[in-house]
Structure 1
Amino acid sequence: MTLNEVLKNTNYDVSLFSEEARKFIEDAIVVKTVRGKETPFITCLKRGKEIVLKPEEVVRQLYLYKLIHEYGYPTSRIEAEFPIHFGREVKRADIAIMDKDRPMVPYIIVELKKPRLSDGKEQLKSYCNATGAPIGVWTNGEQISYYNRKDPNYFEPITNIPKVTEKLSDIINEKFTYEDLRKIDRISQQKRSLRSLIQEMEDEVLASAGVDSFEEIFKLIFAKLYDELICERDPSAYLKFRNSGETDFELKEKIQGLFDDAKKKWEGIFTDESKILLSPSHLAVCVATLQDIKLFNNNLDVVDDAFEYLMSKAQKGEKGQYFTPRYVIDMCVKMMNPSVNDKIIDTACGSSGFTVHSIFKVWKDIRHEKGLPEGEGFTAAQRIPEETNFVRDNVFAIDFDEKTVRVARTLNLIAGDGQTNVLHLNTLDYSRWNEITRQEDWNDTYNEGFKKLKKLQPKGSNDYSQFQFDLVMANPPFAGDIKENTIISRYELGKNSAGKWQNKVGRDILFIERNLNFLKPGGRMAIVLPQGRFNNSSDKGIREYIAERCRILAVVGLHGNVFKPHTGTKTSVLFVQKWDDELCPKKEDYPIFFATMQKPSKDNSGDKIYLVDPETGLPALDKHNHLIVDHDLFQLSYMKQDGTENLLEPGIAEAFAEFAKKEGLSFFR
């Protein structure tokens, strides 16, 4: 019997443990028939007696193996089912490692019974508080968390537990370079997510800190990104965003200094006067929680997941605007195939996924052209001039929400090494742009980008109604109608079938017209729309408006779970190209590419569904050791046990590329 068979349909996993550990435990399984049913048994590594191998016991035996063979603890210092007294009640800790000098007192307690962290941590805290144990560990075999008990109410996350030859102070006071951080990164090594860590901080610290969670976490992520940038570029430098044995007050001074340096590097996100408002003790908890996360990586999922959570809590959901999952964005980028000469804009940018992933794609092309290694996407490494020039001159984004714009600007500033054209404007209400852009504080931040945007208007046009972009990609907000006559009266789609102005119009409808007006002839657009726009008889006029002005290239139906938990609205992505004598000559009859996403990518609760390696039954991982969302929008790949890459079946994007080449579409020639 295999470990995967024992753990089937449970919340336990074994991907955290080494292949040697898994093989050792699997080889020790003995199957017996109990009451007519095959039941696995194993001889406990500590107790030396045969026991039934339940899912929780699998994780315990693997962790015992790890303690003995990897951390070097002798079995004489380890206890299984250690009794802990709560008055008359006795509970049992799964594993306890006893103090070297006081063999009756627990030094480390390990909790395995609760397969979810929130439950496990509460149990762990009660055990540590009852025994005075300074260190606690929770794991379900897939994720793991280590804590140092500072006082009954505060358990500080730590990087690891000490080996038998180490002290706790060795772990806490250790200095780390960027390369060290890469090795201990909690996301790749412990399978934690930044979102779950922030939720933990909110529950334990921020809820009682009397501050704006979004602002304070944003400041810390901002400072940490800067710290990683400096240390990635200087391999001998030590990371400062760490709790390295300083007092809470000394730590706050150090982190504020980092934040101030980051503000100078990336201007226009925080004011010069901005300070970290968390108290020293609250800040110490947050730093300890975030310090072992590596934010720079090949994609933006790590940072984006956290910002999506913070933004949706702050206000995004109320406005019907949701972060587009990265895999949907990547599909659009692959299908629209941006090039180094394209002028690109996202008119409802959110955290700017469409533009940032377009940047990553074009950077790969630039490096390929020059015979350079592909490099990373979201990276702290120095960029070549052609890469930063593309970001500075060709990539633009707009959003009406000030918090969102600051997130988008941060990601774009880092990608563009200090250059960005992300603007805080209401895309639909362009008649008011002049009064907005005359405001001094707006100008201080956005003027450089706005000057470049103005130059992309057609000759003779200066009212911001028309632009000359090659590519628009956007997921505009669906919820809420536009009711202001001053806005509606500027749009053809603001009229009803009788040609009269309407009192209210769906926000996404106006975005269709506005986005087409951002495109030059031959320009192309990808836009996420509610499924009803493609089906409802009442929206026939909208479909005719689009077909008159563009070639409809493709419609891709997304699964109903894609935007959960925020909304269950069924959506599709529309891809079009504006008619143009040279790039897209007008035709009356032509084929359209239709596809429907078959794999949901998320469950009904909105939790991501991850790809599983069919050979091992374990979660499949990318080259950064990160989990991979299981979908069919484009071709997925994962790293096999032997270090080679395994490509799966081509997806919708690859099928469209074949279609585009066959049809001779201009952007795939």
Structure 2
Amino acid sequence: MSTPIFTKTLESATRKKIDLILANLGWNTDETSPDCNVFTERAKTTEQNKKFKGKNPDYVLYKSGTDDPIGIIEAKRSGQSLRQALNQAINLYAEPLGLDIIFVTDGSIVESHDVRSKSNLKLDDQIITEFISEKQLLKFLEHGSQLYSPEKITYTKRELIKIFSEANDLLRKEGIREGIERFAEFSNLLFLKLISEIEEDRENSGEQRILEKKYCWESFYKLDPDRMLEYVNNIILPRLVNKYNHSGDVFQQNLLIKSPENLKKIVDKLSSLKLLDADSDIKGDAFEYFLKNSVSVGTDLGEYFTPRHIVKLIVDLVDPKFGDKIYDPACGTGGFLIEAFRHIKNKCKQTKENLQILKEKTVYGREISGTAKIAKMNMIIIGDGHNNIKQMDSLKNPVKGDYNVVLTNFPFSQTTDYSAFYGFNSEDANPVFLKHIIDSLDNGGIAGVVVPEGLLFDENSEYIKIRKILLETCNVVAVIKLHEFVFKPYTGQPTSILIFEKGRQTQNVWFFDVQEDGFKKTGSKLGRSPIEANDLILLRQIWKDKENSNHSFSVDFKKIVAEKYKLSMDKYRKQGKKTTDFVKLGEVCDIVIGGTPSRKDLSLYGGKNLWVKIRDMNRQMYISNTEEKITDKGVKESNVKLLPIDTLLFSFKLTIGKVAITAKELYTNEAIAGIVPKDNRVLTKYLYYLLPRLDYSTYSQRATKGKTLNKDIMRIVEIPLPSVEIQKKIIKELDAKESEKEKHLQAVAKIAEDQDKKINELI
């Protein structure tokens, strides 16, 4: 029986999606109603329609109760260019009607545009990537393309940060450990405040309360401190435990706070705020604050917290549908699941039956740590569904074909005892997590996953194996490279986003390079402030077509197979720029790693053998002496290895890229690699100038105190290798530049000396 050939998606299919979204936002799409403010393929009046000169706009939006048009929506079928749709909307419809606001969409990706500023609409410096209500559209028309939250909301956010800080101090005095434990305690009170406001809104709109008043905020916030602590522990928490803890440990039996006065102080602060007015993700703000300021969590926060604009991007690109079962095997506080829930809710008919499916049969998460209870609380706040959040080790519990969508940022560089469940031998959890994700998808399912860059290029046999499985059993739609500041200030781990569909082999992989994501490249603990430069706008525009651009290109499956299934974007971008042959460093050089004799045995130090540490590698090109020396016994009883004269020394741990050349035979510690040319194809001095200037961001791995390479990774670093004659010419030119640089440095040093001398004369 032949395989049926299906027809292409029509523009009308996209319009059906738009109609639902607009209705959910409060627009009236019933053109038989006098209150209709959305007209399709025509303007409202004959006079307006004439201005289109026979062309038909997809949607014209109107101010309610008037004939005044306020916006255009241009809908294109899936696969058509959004940029083309935008130009069409401006020239054919917006300009003839004198309109300023335009939305273009293919049914999944939405782009907003303001004709006046020729830019996207923005709210609080974040680009608008969805349709908006009439009320909000009118605000943009009045105030321009950039809106900020009302002062009330901005003030509330400032107050929240202040309360987080004060609560953190009070909880520290209670002896509660910093980070997740302290945040979990604060979350109990945040939950009570939020759920109480939600119940109040329900009651005011005529809906039935789910949680009775006697268990809400208004029942205890005015009590004296002793009575308040007693009421929360004896009345409220037992009720919450009884109502929600059947699905696991969501609420504790008693607060960890023991001081009634401390509880009263936190409650009084929260009582003055209306949290629902502040932000749709108050828990996210609190979670970020408590962990960002935690010393013990430190750089591991990148495993817990995915920036919200990246979460929204991945959800938009994957575009989960109503009826999908969505899974996050490392859900943390539930960020991906919450965004997916909202994404689907905005696009489906909000009947009682549909909402029941959304709450009970749509989102599923697992989390090995105690943050699972925070995810459960978050699910309760957005509409329940907490029963599907489980605290467990996902890798210990394989899943086979249960889900249509997987969205996750799994923790990197972890170890696991369960790799054998997935056909692997190593304790390294990175490839195992990716296999768990592939296995959990049903055929035809789609995943959006943040992965460490090393998983995409490392020649470790387990990494090659998982890439082979991925490419042969799934269609890798895209690899989106993120710059190293995306997860700052928590971690500088190089990462990429993988988008793949299970069920058929990859034919081509589309790569996109996010060099700017709309936020300043900084590691400041204060966070990354918004900027104009944002490659995510282009990514959204060309997503359906997967166009080639200055940021993107496609690579054929056969080429990827020939490169050991590597999916690192830089691997293929370099090939397009080569003006000379590239080789792996390990092909032309031996790489020798040093060691450190035991510091407990003083007899190993103080000898005559030169022993180099990074501190010895200052500005001098050649090393002929060292700060410390080791004895013959130190050589014999350690892992140090003798390096010959004319060896390049290269620092590769924590401080990457310091170089020097050995002028005598010597030894090094384990943070320095000796790079010894195997033959006459490469000159040591050429490597001296070359290696410090290479970009190691896609090769480096995260360590406790910073970035690091290792011997195996250094072997696969690719270097340009011109002929020896050309190498000699390069060395001659760079030697001249080095002499010139030295003269300038000496001149600068002389100026600094003169300045110091002048000041010393005064004092």
Q: TM-score, normalised on structure 1?
A: 0.51
Distance 1:270 1:346, change over 3 A: closer
- Confirm or deny that 1:222 pairs with 2:191: yes
Please state if 1:334 is matched with 2:236.
Answer: no
Give the structure 1 partner of residue 339 of structure 2.
357
| 1:604 has 2:523 as partner | yes
Tell whether 2:471 aligns with 1:471: no
Describe the SS at the equivalent of 1:366.
coil
> 1:468 and 1:595 mapped to 2: Cα distance?
32
**1:59-78 to 2 correspondences below 5 Å:** none
Q: Report how far residue 363 of structure 1 moved.
A: 0.2
* 2:403–2:442 CA contact under 8 A, matched in 1: yes
Residue 329 of structure 1, CA deviation: 0.7
Of 397, 401, 408, the match for 2:365 = 397
Give the aligned residue type for 2:317.
Answer: M
Cα offsets for 1:466-508 (capped at 9, x unmatched): 12311111111113333x3xx122223x2xxxxxx34x32x22
- The residue aligned with 1:194 is 160
Residue 365 of structure 1 aligns to a residue whose secondary structure is coil
The whole-number CA distance in structure 1 between the counterparts of 2:219 and 2:539 is 43
Cα 1:595–1:241, aligned 2, differ >3 Å: closer, same or farther? farther
Q: 1:656 aligns with which of 532, 543, 547?
A: 543
Contact 2:518-2:530 within 8 A present in 1 as well = no
The correspondence for 1:304, drawn from 280, 284, 290, is 284
Equivalent of 1:595, from 504, 510, 513?
Answer: 513
Contact 2:300 2:491 in 1 (8 A): no
Is the partner of 1:342 in helix, strand or coil? coil
- When residues 228 and 195 of structure 1 are mapped into structure 2, their CA distance, relative to the original with a 3 A threshold, is same
Task: State the shift of 1:595 in Å.
Answer: 3.3
In structure 2, distance between residues paired with 1:211 and 1:265: 26
CA distance in 2, matches of 1:540, 1:567: 25
User: 2:450 aligned with 1:528, yes or no?
Assistant: yes
CA distance in 2, matches of 1:184, 1:385: 36
Q: Once the 2 structures are TM-superposed, how far is the Cα of residue 524 of structure 1 from its aligned partner?
A: 1.1
Partner of 1:508: 430
SS in 2 for 1:407: helix
* Greater CA drift, 268-277 or 468-477: 268-277
Structure with higher Rg: it is 2
Equivalent residues in 2 for 1:277-296, closer than 5 Å:
277-296=257-276
Please give the residue correspondences for 1:31-46 in structure 2 after superposition, counting only pairs within 5 Å. none
Shift of 1:272: 6.8
Corresponding position: 1:490 with 2:421: yes
Contact 1:248 1:284 in 2 (8 A): yes
Does residue 576 (structure 1) correspond to residue 545 (structure 2)? The answer is no
1:345/1:215 CA distance change after superposition, 3 Å: closer
Match of 1:424 in 2: 391
In structure 1, give the amino acid aligned to 2:499.
Answer: F
Call closer, same or farther: CA 1:211–1:598 in 2, change over 3 Å.
Answer: closer
Task: Classify the secondary structure of the residue corresponding to 1:229.
Answer: helix
Q: Quick check: 2:221–2:268 contact (8 Å CA) kept in 1?
A: no
Give the aligned partner of residue 234 of structure 1: 203
Tell me if 1:632 matches 2:538: no
Question: What are the residue-to-residue correspondences of 1:176-195 with 2, within 5 Å?
Answer: 187-192=153-158, 194-195=160-161
The whole-number CA distance in structure 2 between the counterparts of 1:467 and 1:193 is 46
Deviations 1:359-389 (A, max 9, x none): 101000114xx6xxxxxxxxxxxx8441232
- Tell me, in whole angstroms, the C-alpha distance in 1 between the residues paired with 2:164 and 2:396: 35
Give the 3 Å change call, closer, same or farther, for CA 606–311 of structure 1 in structure 2: closer
C-alpha change, 1:191 and 1:352, in structure 2 (3 Å) is closer
Partner of 1:210: 175
List per-residue Cα deviations over 1:436-478 (Å, max 9, x = no partner). xxxxxxxxxxxxxxxxxxxxxxxxxxxx441231111111111
- Within 5 Å, which residues of 2 pair with 1:612-627? none
**Distance in 1 between the 2:254 and 2:354 partners?**
34
> Matched residue of 2:484: which SS?
coil
- Residues 188-245 of structure 1: per-residue CA shift (max 9 Å, x gap): 3354163442123223x22222345334312211221221122121239898359976
CA distance change for structure 1 residues 196 and 509 in 2, over 3 Å: closer, same or farther? farther
**Equivalent AA in structure 2 for residue 560 of structure 1:** E
Cα distance change on mapping 1:254 and 1:352 into 2, 3 Å:
same
Distance 1:193 1:387, change over 3 A: farther
Structure 2 counterpart of 1:549, one-letter code: T
Rounded Cα–Cα distance in structure 2 between residues aligned with 1:307 and 1:396:
21
> Aligned in 2, Cα 1:272/1:428: closer, same or farther, shift over 3 Å?
closer
Unaligned 5+ residue runs, structure 1?
1-141, 143-182, 371-382, 431-463, 495-500, 581-585, 613-629, 635-649, 664-669
TM-score, with structure 2 as normaliser: 0.45
The secondary structure found in structure 2 opposite 1:423 is strand
Shift of 1:607: 3.4
Q: Which secondary structure state, in structure 2, belongs to the residue aligned with residue 595 of structure 1?
A: strand
The 2-side partners of 1:349 and 1:653 are apart by 25
Counterpart position of 1:481: 415
Q: Given the superposition, is the C-alpha separation of residues 530 and 591 from structure 1 closer, same or farther in structure 2, using an over 3 Å criterion?
A: closer
Q: Distance in 1 between matches of 2:357 and 2:382?
A: 11
Q: Which residue of 1 aligns with 2:470?
A: 546
CA distance in 2: counterparts of 1:246 and 1:336, whole angstroms: 49
Deviation of the 1:517 alpha carbon:
0.3
* Residue identity in the other structure for 2:384: D
Give, in whole Å, the separation in 1 of the partners of 2:278 and 2:327: 22
The answer to whether the Cα contact below 8 Å between 1:555 and 1:573 also exists between their aligned partners in 2 is yes
Q: Which residue of 2 aligns with 1:644?
A: none
1:414 matched to 2:338? The reply is no
Equivalent residues of 2:435, 2:466 under 8 A apart? no
Check the 8 A contact 2:156/2:273 in 1, yes or no.
Answer: no
Other-structure match for 1:159: none
State the SS of the aligned residue for 1:573.
strand
* Residues 321, 479 of structure 1: 8 Å contact kept: no
Matched AA of 2:270? L
Task: Count matched residues.
Answer: 381
Amino acid in the other structure paired with 2:409: N
1:561–1:606 contact (8 Å) kept in structure 2: no
